[in-house]
Amino acid sequence: MDKPEITTLALARSLNCIETIFAENKALRREKQFFDYLMVLDFEATCWNKTDYDKGQSEIIEFPCVLYDVVNDKVISEFQQYVMPTERQKLSTFCTELTGIQQTQVDNGVPLKTCLVLFHRWLNQQILKYNISLKFPTSFCKTCVFATWSDWDLGNCLKNECRRKGIIRHDMFNRWIDVRSLYVEHYNVKPKGLLGALNEVGLTFEGTQHCGLHDARNTAKLIGKMVNDGVGLRITKDISNK
Ligand code: AMP
Ligand code: MG
Ligand code: MG
């Protein structure tokens, strides 16, 4: 008679250390990822109802970014800045209701150009503190790239606004991970927004939807789950030559 095969899992079960095995697998998946850190961002922008007759182009009104530590599965630093729109300074009722962002918050905000200076200052602090490099491959530094829910934030919103306003955009904004496309590829479902994606994998949205900072935190939370589920983090979009 053949000997029954003793799998690692069966052995772990008999020794009562299943949890340890799973925890080790998850830790391994994190350490094997190409990226050590992600800068998860989610812009909020001016918007209008379909029926509003006086519509404009989207301008960023909230610029949040969270630094997510992939190996330790946690957000380790946050940046948030309200931005003053300059093309259409008055927010529509629809926009305020959707995002929760008040007119006074953008009136007291800074123009996009200043916001980018503040963002770079925060980013440089993180780069020094965690020995991060946004260029890769590198053997000395930790790897990091932007991650967003969909291509809209960096592929449309920031790019178009900078072009219209003559603002020079740093190279690093040209490459990112679209979390949505990795999600669709891995789970083979088209989620209804970030909220739907979280719910689909058994997570809840913490905070308020369409608050950029909360959206960014929840995107990081979703990435954590996706990594546990075996998703390999990789750049999905590069517009360097476009
Ligand atoms: P989100 O990250 O989903 O909060 O969306 C980012 C931005 O897209 C918002 O700040 C709005 O400018 C725009 N947006 C999102 N949802 C809608 C919607 N239902 N109608 C019009 N604009 C929207
Ligand atoms: Mg978004
Ligand atoms: Mg948002």
Upper half-sphere CA count for residue 55 (Cβ side, 13 Å): 11
| Ligand nearest to C-alpha 64 | 3
What are the pLDDT digits (tens) for 92-115? 999 999 999 999 999 999 999 999
- Residues carrying an active site annotation: 44, 210
DSSP state of 37: E
Among the bound ligands, the one closest to the CA of 99: 1
Hey, what domains does the chain have and what are their CATH numbers?
29-238 (3.30.420.10)
> How would DSSP label each residue in 168-233?
PPPGGGGEEEEHHHHHHHHH----SHHHHHHHHTT----S-TT-HHHHHHHHHHHHHHHHHTTPPP
Average pLDDT, the chain: 92
CA distances from 72 to 36, 114, 126 (A): 9, 32, 16
Cα–Cα distance measured from residue 110 to residue 59, given in angstroms and rounded to the nearest whole number: 12
Exposed e or buried b per residue across 166-182, where buried means at least 16 C-beta atoms within 10 angstroms of its C-beta: eeeeeebbbbbbbbbeb
Question: Rounded to 5 degrees, what are φ and ψ at 221?
Answer: -60, -45
Q: Would you say the CB of residue 99 lies under 6 angstroms from ligand 1?
A: yes
> Which atom of ligand 1 is nearest to 61's Cα?
10
Q: Is the CB–ligand 1 distance for residue 42 below 6 Å?
A: yes
If pLDDT is split at 50, 70 and 90, which confidence band does 8 have? low
Work out the pLDDT band at 18, boundaries 50, 70, 90.
Answer: low
Hey, what amino acid is at 229? D
Q: Is 180 in the pocket of ligand 1 (CB under 6 A)?
A: no
Tell how far the Cα of 44 is from the centroid of ligand 1, in angstroms: 7
Q: How far is the CA of 152 from the centre of ligand 2 (A)?
A: 8
- The stretch 23-44 carries a mean pLDDT of 85
Which stretches of the chain are DSSP H helices? 8-14, 18-31, 93-99, 103-107, 112-130, 152, 158-165, 179-187, 193-200, 212-228
44 lines ligand 1 (CB under 6 A): yes
